[in-house]
Amino acid sequence: MRYLIRFSYDGTNFNGFQKQPGCRCVESELEKALFDINNHKKTKVVGSGRTDRGVHALDQCAHFDIDIDITLYKLKCALNSLLPEDIHVFSVEQVSDSFHARFNAKKKTYKYIINCGEYNPIERNYVYQYCKKLDVDKMKKEIKSFIGVHNFKSFVSEETKKENYEREIFDAHIEEENDKVIFYFTGNGFMKYQVRNMVGTLFKIGKGKLDLGIVNEIFNDEKLAKNITTIKREGLYLEKIEYNN
């Protein structure tokens, strides 16, 4: 039987979602827990996507197949009893054998948080501590340029090799909460460093180091990608995955 789990994690002490030899990763912790639950059988976990080292998730999704008789509630409890404290499964459901956590995902939402107020050591792993004022109005205008279908090759890691760099952004906006500036992006998919590079570009606009209109200029001329800064990982969260009902 195939199951879909929704879970959150504190990415501070993980080397990303995808398992890597000799590294502490979210995927490997899930598979270790399922090994014990599934009568000591190797169980492959398929995530909705990857997050990088230090990136957090509020609603990550994954599917796996196990062949034991267990209720959804007991499976959730068993997972949480075996997982480390920085991962928590909050939803378990049975899905069809054809369901795929990655390929069936229709929308993904990421958010990025910057603190423009007093330095907060407690939040240093969860909010980028810039601690200076930004021109939020300019950033709010420019973020709209990301909405739509675009070739995002200039906004991804140079090591990312794809046949197709085209992605659609359904919504992109900025909210303010006290001294925090929060960036939101909802799209049909994101590539490595894409969100951090988009925020990094807006961040430079907010600091007065780039002018309005630079996003469309970069879309039209890849040589202008040199203006992009990959912002720090600490403020990035995978907030939500959406599937068709």
Spatial CA neighbour of 59 closest among 185, 243, 242, 238: 238
CB 238 within 8 Å of CB 108: yes
| CB-CB contact of 39 with 136 (8 Å) | no
Find out whether 64 and 44 touch, Cβ atoms under 8 Å: yes
**8 Å CB contact between 38 and 91:** no
CA distances from 131 to 114, 122, 137, 206 (A): 8, 14, 18, 13
The CB density around residue 63, as the number of other CB atoms within 10 Å, is 21
Identify the bridge partners of residue 91 per DSSP, sorted by sequence position.
Answer: 6
Q: Give the span between the Cα atoms of 69 and 198, in whole angstroms.
A: 46
Q: How far is CA 103 from CA 46, 71, 151, in A?
A: 10, 26, 20
Catalytic residues, by residue number, are: 52
Backbone angles phi, psi at 172, to 5 degrees: -150, 120
Q: Residue 91 CB: number of other CB atoms within 10 A?
A: 12
Name the residue type at position 113.
I
